[in-house]
Amino acid sequence: MRWVLLSVEVDGAWAADLADALLEQGALSVEVSDADAGTARETPLFREFGEPAEVVWSHTLLSVLLDVDVDPAQALYAACNVIHMPVPEQWHTESLAQRDWVRATQQQFGPIEISTRLWIVPSWCQPPVPEALVLKLDPGLAFGTGAHPTTWQCLRWLDAHLRSGQSLLDYGCGSGILAIAAKKLGAGRVVATDIDPDALEVSARNACENGVVVDVLPPDLLRSGEFDVVIANILAGPLQLLAPVLAARTSPRGQIVLAGILDVQGGAVCADFAEWFDLAQHYPRAGWTCLVGQRRAAS
């Protein structure tokens, strides 16, 4: 197997957000270092429990490990677009010889604490709290590792508010992490859907690895019906377009949870859902917000 190393120089203020976005675009690992000091002060971007390390360098170098099949330019442009960042002028790629990159990548990810009882634990780690409710999940190409603020927001809401036996639709399921968490937290019927066939495959595999039953299928095969909870962690633009679809899937007095929304986008998303929901912002984190509301009963 071969790899490509993408080296990107950025302002330190953008480093953590760009690293998160690159991981979601398929990067196997990201390391951050002081661009003015070369590799002498190289430090893993992710500390224990998956929390981003503080970036203290104004001129920062991101070293991004990619599979050879991933287009570095496409991944960089897509990541910058997600966080509304100008594409850096200083970046280059190089091919890498084979080495134990799996172990190097694993060192960057550890257990992630969502709450005192809910943890995300990669397969190569032991649960830090033996009695905890554990989501077994390895970082991969599908969105949803638990380290990103928007995934954390949704998981926190599920942990605090999901009631036993409630039905749930995870729209834009990515890795399936939210659907799997809902099932482990006591939900009844859980359906996970995504337009990406790879995401559906990953979600089904992750559900099996976690020993839960989740219906995984593309949107066009969804049966008619409403859900007690509809959760969608996508991006603001697609959420706004999907407002009528998601509203129709939410039962009267059912709840909707929307994420993937920057703080500055919250008002516009609320406006597009105002016909059906009064949304409020919850769990602000690193510039992202989560919108939650109850479907108004038909008059």
Q: Is the pLDDT of residue 215 over 60?
A: yes
Q: What is the pLDDT of residue 43?
A: 34
Q: Check if the beta carbon of residue 27 is closer than 8 Å to that of residue 3.
A: no
Q: Is the pLDDT of residue 102 over 60?
A: no
How wide is the angle at C-alpha 168 spanned by C-alphas 152 and 132, nearest 5°? Answer: 45
Residue 103: which pLDDT band, with cuts at 50, 70 and 90?
low
Interval 251-261: pLDDT, tens: 999 999 999 99
Q: Check if the beta carbon of residue 119 is closer than 8 Å to that of residue 109.
A: no
Q: What is the pLDDT of residue 40?
A: 33
Lowest mean pLDDT among 43-47, 150-154, 229-233: 43-47
Residue 109: which pLDDT band, with cuts at 50, 70 and 90?
low
Q: Check if the beta carbon of residue 154 is closer than 8 Å to that of residue 112.
A: no
Helical axes 149-161 vs 177-184, angle rounded to 10°: 20
DSSP-derived secondary structure letter, 53: P
CA-based nearest residue to 242, from 169, 143, 155, 167 = 169
Q: What is the pLDDT of residue 128?
A: 82
What's the pTM value of the predicted model, to 2 decimals? 0.68
Interval 21-80: pLDDT, tens: 998 898 888 877 777 654 333 333 332 233 333 434 678 888 888 888 899 999 999 999
Lowest mean pLDDT among 55-69, 130-144, 208-222: 130-144
d(CA 281, CA 45): 29
List the domains of the chain with CATH numbers.
3-106 (3.30.70.120), 148-294 (3.40.50.150)
Q: Check if the beta carbon of residue 263 is closer than 8 Å to that of residue 287.
A: yes
